[in-house]
Structure 1
């Protein structure tokens, strides 16, 4: 059952029987809302010019959107000459979006309003990601419980975005890495279990979009790579300000580029992948092997098996000056930097952002990455690309999920 309100513009977003004049008007309203979301408040006259719609027609559209409560009149434009026109823009409280980033051991959850302002961010909600129906049910239970706690009407939450690692086709709503038990798209399964329109996205792409649109470290740059370093390694690609998906929606799988001659079997089933040497999984394996060989760490006393060792344990150990953790993160960083060097040669981006769980170690990961880039890349290429750590940190994924839901609900194609 849908939670959307009756007789509203947002109710019509899910309508499948619009045609003729009603359908055309609906598309025009989406274009207007998209303009507001991208460029901010505007007058009817300026909107008419920008969207090539007659002034009387634009006035009618704005009137209807204002009556729906979706658009707000922000008063007269400051002007020293002539009659001052009114400015219109999005009504921030008319709609809300929920973004969920699913990690291996927890989820991050965010709530944004119609103007993309992050109103709530709930990090590290305990959850164990497992590819089982029980884990899927538990995830939906957590989502519903957290939404119940939000101090906003459910009727105004018009969509949720869920980020998962691995291969996601956002257009069809299918996940090929997690929870693919049903013939139905996973997005439809989530919609049934939560009652909200649901959009799936690969976690790295959502994080990239969150960084790009979230008012953080990205300024004027249009060509940006986001490297997500957690248990695995993923990448979100922004070219000319748009996410790159590839034919099937699987672009950015840099963790599975075969860079190394080793016999380590990656979780994808291949050998020599970048993830086998430069990911969180690789770090855990290397760390446990060192403990078995007699190396000392602040974690030594409580690690009985490799399954006892979590990525966050090593991250926290490094942040508390654990020498073994710092040394192994340095090793990981150098190998990751080698992979990023290849990306610089392929894409020649303006900006590369390092994010994900391991980015929380700061310079322990960042400095060896930079050293490796200097070693392996052409200076003419690397000098043109700025390499930075994420400023949004844990918020990037949940924020990006919210922003992508809004973008997809309002796109007029």
Structure 2
């Protein structure tokens, strides 16, 4: 990659994440002189990658011209996986969905065919989207489990015969591929596009079939030494002797996951608890979560009780982390965040009971505004995080027929 091409990618990356910038702002962010930045911006405008957005608000003196990336210059295939369901989307440079999101059942546990099925699903999805591969900059995939980002391997799911998952998918699809843990990507989405953008230290709790954690420390995503940081589900916090999915007993997950909430709902209904919930609505996990969220939003006492119990137990785990990390904010994200404010009170109650007040006094608890889409947005962000890096599979984008980036 030539120096100029790299500069162009760095500018496009900043515009993707930041929205609108002046030339001076971009010069400062990418550490290139204003004259060089101006020249490259003019080329990107001429090539159709960047739009001039008029003048910035006056701060005294001459108002600078502002710039933004064109939404349709290139696209990203975004894949969000959990243990049971995989969602696929194609997103533009403004994080808008340009085709209907596809959802397929793809169980990961003990499934030797999960990776071939995933590859076939991605290929079919791109083919039916009608978008040329030349206009797709890459594929970002979020997945549960112990994901080694550097090696491109998932040690928990998607068996790949010790060959990089990223390599296998990339060779089969013909596009650069990047993978990461689902909770890390949810935190990346929150860092780049959510409430934590203004905070330096944030914990992002992914409420789903487990309870994951993404860590934002000093305005950066923290993955740990091997990329495995944030295994919040498996803090051994209870003396309940319940076997966890990890093989240990008493983990946080055994009292807090959506699977646990669903099972407790079934048990309660069978025992005669009064509720607007219907037992038949809880037979399939996806539909069960929707039914529980709908009932809670209408104030169903039994459902609110279930979420409150799980929330309080999540709060006990959060209290431990507050003592260690002293974050400014806790963001509740992922699939379960659809239940909204029903989580806030019980989590705050647990924090009040189990935290030293001085440590927790300035820690706010918020529901993600990105919600269930956070993982898809995070997977797209992962591609753009690597957009300007040599040796990361980044490709030269073609925004439209006959219009290519000049070096």
Q: Please tell me the TM-score bracket, short chain as reference.
A: 0.7 to 0.9
Q: Deviations over 1:61-107 (max 9, x none)?
A: 44654565434556788999999987655333221112121134433
* RMSD across aligned positions (CA): 3.5
1:90 aligns with 2:60: no
Question: Quick one: which of 372, 379, 383 aligns to 2:350?
Answer: 372
- The aligned residue for residue 246 of structure 2 is 268
- The aligned residue for residue 209 of structure 1 is 188
Normalised TM-score (structure 2): 0.82
In the alignment, the residues of structure 2 paired with residue 48 and residue 204 of structure 1 have an alpha-carbon distance, to the nearest angstrom, of 32
In the alignment, the residues of structure 1 paired with residue 375 and residue 59 of structure 2 have an alpha-carbon distance, to the nearest angstrom, of 44
Aligned to 1:387, the other structure's residue is in SS state strand
Q: Is the 8 A contact 1:41 1:90 kept in 2?
A: no
Q: Deviations over 1:279-299 (max 9, x none)?
A: 123223433444554545555
In the alignment, the residues of structure 2 paired with residue 37 and residue 307 of structure 1 have an alpha-carbon distance, to the nearest angstrom, of 35
In the alignment, the residues of structure 2 paired with residue 67 and residue 357 of structure 1 have an alpha-carbon distance, to the nearest angstrom, of 42
In the alignment, the residues of structure 1 paired with residue 244 and residue 384 of structure 2 have an alpha-carbon distance, to the nearest angstrom, of 36
- The aligned residue for residue 136 of structure 1 is 115
Q: Which runs of 4+ in 1 moved over 6 A?
A: 75-86, 303-309
Question: Where does structure 2 lack aligned partners over 5 or more consecutive residues?
Answer: 392-407
- The aligned residue for residue 31 of structure 1 is 10
Question: Where does structure 1 lack aligned partners over 5 or more consecutive residues?
Answer: 1-17
| Structure 1 residues 173-252: aligned runs within 5 Å | 173-214=152-193, 216-252=194-230
Q: 1:219 to 1:32 in 2, by over 3 A?
A: closer
In the alignment, the residues of structure 2 paired with residue 294 and residue 388 of structure 1 have an alpha-carbon distance, to the nearest angstrom, of 34
Q: Greater shift after overlay, 339-348 or 61-70?
A: 61-70
Q: 1:212 to 1:50 in 2, by over 3 A?
A: closer
Q: Deviations over 1:233-277 (max 9, x none)?
A: 101111122100000000011110111112111000011110011
In the alignment, the residues of structure 2 paired with residue 317 and residue 59 of structure 1 have an alpha-carbon distance, to the nearest angstrom, of 55
In the alignment, the residues of structure 2 paired with residue 121 and residue 358 of structure 1 have an alpha-carbon distance, to the nearest angstrom, of 25
- The aligned residue for residue 280 of structure 2 is 302
In the alignment, the residues of structure 1 paired with residue 22 and residue 45 of structure 2 have an alpha-carbon distance, to the nearest angstrom, of 14
- The aligned residue for residue 119 of structure 1 is 97
In the alignment, the residues of structure 2 paired with residue 366 and residue 84 of structure 1 have an alpha-carbon distance, to the nearest angstrom, of 43
1:356 aligns with 2:334: yes
Aligned to 2:365, the other structure's residue is in SS state strand
Q: 1:241 to 1:81 in 2, by over 3 A?
A: closer
Q: Greater shift after overlay, 73-82 or 48-57?
A: 73-82
The Cα shift of 1:55 comes to 6.0
State the aligned residue count.
389
- The aligned residue for residue 41 of structure 1 is 21
Q: Deviations over 1:287-313 (max 9, x none)?
A: 344455454555565389899994444
Q: Is the 8 A contact 1:140 1:194 kept in 2?
A: yes
Q: Is the 8 A contact 1:207 1:396 kept in 2?
A: yes
In the alignment, the residues of structure 2 paired with residue 253 and residue 33 of structure 1 have an alpha-carbon distance, to the nearest angstrom, of 33
The Cα shift of 1:352 comes to 0.6
Q: Is the 8 A contact 1:36 1:90 kept in 2?
A: yes
Q: Is the 8 A contact 2:341 2:367 kept in 1?
A: no
Q: 1:315 to 1:50 in 2, by over 3 A?
A: closer
Aligned to 2:226, the other structure's residue is in SS state coil
Q: Greater shift after overlay, 321-330 or 79-88?
A: 79-88
Q: 1:65 to 1:312 in 2, by over 3 A?
A: same
1:161 aligns with 2:144: no
Q: 1:339 to 1:64 in 2, by over 3 A?
A: same
Aligned to 2:145, the other structure's residue is in SS state coil
Q: Greater shift after overlay, 320-329 or 71-80?
A: 71-80
Q: Is the 8 A contact 1:299 1:317 kept in 2?
A: yes
Q: Deviations over 1:142-187 (max 9, x none)?
A: 3333334446433111111111112112222111121023221112
Q: 1:412 to 1:64 in 2, by over 3 A?
A: farther
